[in-house]
Structure 1
């Protein structure tokens, strides 16, 4: 792709993103109940604090402790993915009791989280194995 077409593509995607964000903000401000925006801002700020203040330092520390060398990035990515998925799943996992409307949370969320975690671990293991295989081949040639 030429540099001009890349620039045009980036500008179009950027404009589409800005338009979507503007639509979302306009809808949020005009279509929500009073006080909801404040609750959303508090929730978003809490998510940022949890992510940047708790999750990322834990992932980086675990990455340092668990592995050295070439595979550190693979396992850090896996840990970051697992931590983020777990944070997203926490409201459904921690909700007490059964909801009054069974269609609100109809799935087995602990089993879903376990399946996603298994997929991430398998993917990271495959990526780590591939990286080791490729570096082994470079050393032999």
Structure 2
């Protein structure tokens, strides 16, 4: 296990060095560093507290694992989609948003909610059937 950790640590440091080298050769590396700093602040000040709060709020619910999975899935979909949707001035490339992404985002989030609801209902029915068999 110690060799595995050291190998992964070495590979991580190597990737950091490659990234630092790529940023250093840019004509204006300050833009990238500001973006990375903004991403760090966004994660630590917004995303992490929201995830922790959702975990605390769902801790007492019976299907908390399923609900948390649905929330993580919905959050990942939002994180991937929102930057293109809220970008001022539209997409930089006309082929980047060829479809109505706002509507499609709502459809995907609805599908995640419906799937979570179906799985919760199936789990509840199985639990009731198991309780009846044991009684």
Normalised by the length of structure 1, the TM-score is: 0.64
Partner of 2:117: 125
Aligned twin of 1:106 = 98
Q: Find the partner of 1:38 among 13, 24, 33.
A: 33
**8 Å contact from structure 2 (residues 91, 97) kept in 1:** yes
Alpha-carbon contact 1:59-1:80 (below 8 Å) kept: no
Mapped partners of 2:8, 2:51: distance in 1: 27
Contact 1:93 1:110 in 2 (8 A): yes
Q: CA RMSD in A?
A: 3.5
CA distance in 2, matches of 1:94, 1:29: 26
Distance, in Å, in 1 between the alignment partners of 2:99 and 2:14 is 30
Which residue number in structure 2 is paired with residue 136 of structure 1?
128
Q: Secondary structure at the match of 1:89?
A: helix
Structure 2 runs not aligned, ≥5 long: none
2:19 corresponds to which residue? 25
Q: Pick from 44, 61, 73: which aligns with 1:68?
A: 61
In 2, distance between residues paired with 1:73 and 1:130? 14
Q: Which runs of 5+ in 1 are unaligned?
A: 1-6
Match of 1:87 among 79, 86, 89: 79
Partner of 2:54: 59
- Cα offset, 1:110, TM superposition: 0.7
- How many residues align? The count is 130
